[in-house]
Amino acid sequence: MGLPRFSRPKGVDSELSPNLYVANCGPAVGLSFDTIASVFSTFGEVKGVYPADDSGARVIVSYFEESAAQAALKALDGHPCPALGGRFLHIRYSIFQPPSQVNDSVPVSLVDSELNIPGIYLLHDFVSAKEEEELLAAVDKMSWKSLSKRRVQHYGYEFCYETRNVNTKQYLGKLPSFVSAIVERISSFPNLESAADIVLDQLTVNEYPPGVGLSPHIDTHSAFEGFIFSLSLAGPCIMDFRRYTEGVWPKSASSSDMSVEYPDKSSSFLRRAIYLPPRSMLLLSGEARYAWHHYIPHHKIDMVKDSVIRRGPRRVSFTFRKVRTGPCQCEFPQYCDSPR
């Protein structure tokens, strides 16, 4: 069951509510939800403490009684709170919004089997903490290319964001030696009979600052073969997936991040989401690779099984692929750019 939703905060003189919007308070300023609940419970029984938005610096404190909220607002609004590190809190009333008034969020899976998407595999702890540190140090010694919101590095072949494809005539050389052990480990990827025959020749390293995600897209069919491996390092994130109905195709492409826009909101689609912890390896193959849009929401905080997960100061992904040299022959022509 998802967390409750609340409307924009109301003014101090507005109608009373058992829910308080509290600014300058939350994980981003070093205050846990348990600590906040403990402090506010001195004014009455607290039903729950929830993130007010993606900032991590604003929360909703929900009481069972309006009188408790009124007492807390009167005592804490605009005053330093010693129990919360002396922070000055800014508090307003907030109104609970019934589920019918908001878009239901998709449940976030922790394992691939919960997604019910053929072709998705997720392995936790694919690399060790030491290997993660070494990989990050290795890429930080290399040159980054800046995009509008993130930085990238390309190896083997450069991905051209303007065309959403690769130029096979511009070979950059073999994949760097610092990923050799990772490529070898991929060859023994479980649950995939032909993994040992995979020859990966393209690597894209993405660095995501806090709150920056990836727009929805299907990797161009004609650009890459059927296996896409993505290693998450440094910070966690949520990856969402959408499968649109037959014949529905996004309107246009965005050259900045090999993405495509969604169809109209009225379009029908299936939606799934999975949590990618640091050091995990995600494989997209088959239907998951060819027919499902995947993207990373632009959030600083994610909700996973009613728990708040704050993204780290950076997330770095290593995406390994095999450049396609002939036309795609997949079973999903409605999503394919290769002529049939």
pLDDT tens column, 121-176: 999 999 999 999 999 999 999 999 998 889 999 999 999 888 888 988 889 999 99
| Cα torsion through 108, 113, 114, 116, rounded to 10 | 110
The mean per-residue pLDDT over the stretch 237-251 comes to 72
Q: Do 156 and 12 belong together in one domain?
A: no
Q: In the predicted model, is pLDDT for residue 197 greater than 90?
A: no
Give pLDDT tens digits for 41-79: 999 999 888 888 767 788 889 998 999 999 999 999 998
Per-residue pLDDT band for 252 (boundaries 50, 70, 90) equals very low
pTM of the model as a whole = 0.68
**What is the pLDDT, as a whole number, of residue 189?**
82
Determine what percent of the chain is predicted with pLDDT higher than 70. 83
How many other C-beta atoms are found inside a 10 Å radius of the C-beta of residue 35? 16
**What is the pLDDT, as a whole number, of residue 4?**
52
**What is the pLDDT, as a whole number, of residue 263?**
41
Q: Do 72 and 187 belong together in one domain?
A: no
Residue 301 tokens read as 């905080």
**What is the pLDDT, as a whole number, of residue 194?**
59
Lowest mean pLDDT among 8-17, 62-71, 199-208, 268-277: 8-17
Q: Do 246 and 214 belong together in one domain?
A: yes
Q: In the predicted model, is pLDDT for residue 231 greater than 70?
A: yes
Q: In the predicted model, is pLDDT for residue 323 greater than 70?
A: yes
- Asked if residue 132 is part of any domain, the answer here is yes
> What's 29's domain CATH number?
3.30.70.330
Give the single-character DSSP code of 130.
H
Choose the final residue of a domain: 101, 128, 156.
101
Rounded Cα–Cα distance for residues 320 and 282 (Å):
10
**What is the pLDDT, as a whole number, of residue 266?**
40
Q: Do 53 and 189 belong together in one domain?
A: no
Strand residues in 117-225 grouped as ranges (E):
120-123, 145-146, 151-155, 157-160, 165-171, 202-208, 214-217
**Radius of gyration of the chain, Cα coordinates, nearest whole angstrom:** 23
Q: In angstroms, how far apart are the furthest CA atoms of the chain?
A: 71
92 - beta bridge partners?
A: 21
Rounded Cα–Cα distance for residues 241 and 271 (Å):
6
**What is the pLDDT, as a whole number, of residue 308?**
76
User: Which has the higher per-residue pLDDT, 119 or 34?
Assistant: 119
- Asked if residue 106 is part of any domain, the answer here is no
Q: Do 218 and 318 belong together in one domain?
A: yes
**Helix or strand (DSSP H, E) at 132:** helix 129-140
The mean per-residue pLDDT over the stretch 287-307 comes to 88
Q: Do 173 and 52 belong together in one domain?
A: no
**What is the pLDDT, as a whole number, of residue 98?**
47
Give yes or no for a contact between 1 and 99, defined as CB atoms under 8 angstroms apart: no
Average pLDDT for the chain:
84
> Among candidates 133, 288, 152, which has minimal Cα distance to 212?
152
Q: Do 282 and 134 belong together in one domain?
A: yes
Number of domains in the chain: 2
Tokens 């590190």 locate to 85
Residue 300 tokens read as 């600083």
Q: Do 83 and 136 belong together in one domain?
A: no
Q: Do 78 and 155 belong together in one domain?
A: no
> What's 269's domain CATH number?
2.60.120.590
Q: Do 86 and 148 belong together in one domain?
A: no
**What is the pLDDT, as a whole number, of residue 161?**
84
Segments forming the whole domain that contains residue 191: 112-335
**What is the pLDDT, as a whole number, of residue 178?**
97
Q: Do 291 and 171 belong together in one domain?
A: yes
Per-residue pLDDT band for 5 (boundaries 50, 70, 90) equals low
Lowest mean pLDDT among 31-45, 153-167, 173-187, 237-251: 237-251
Three-state DSSP class for residue 57: coil
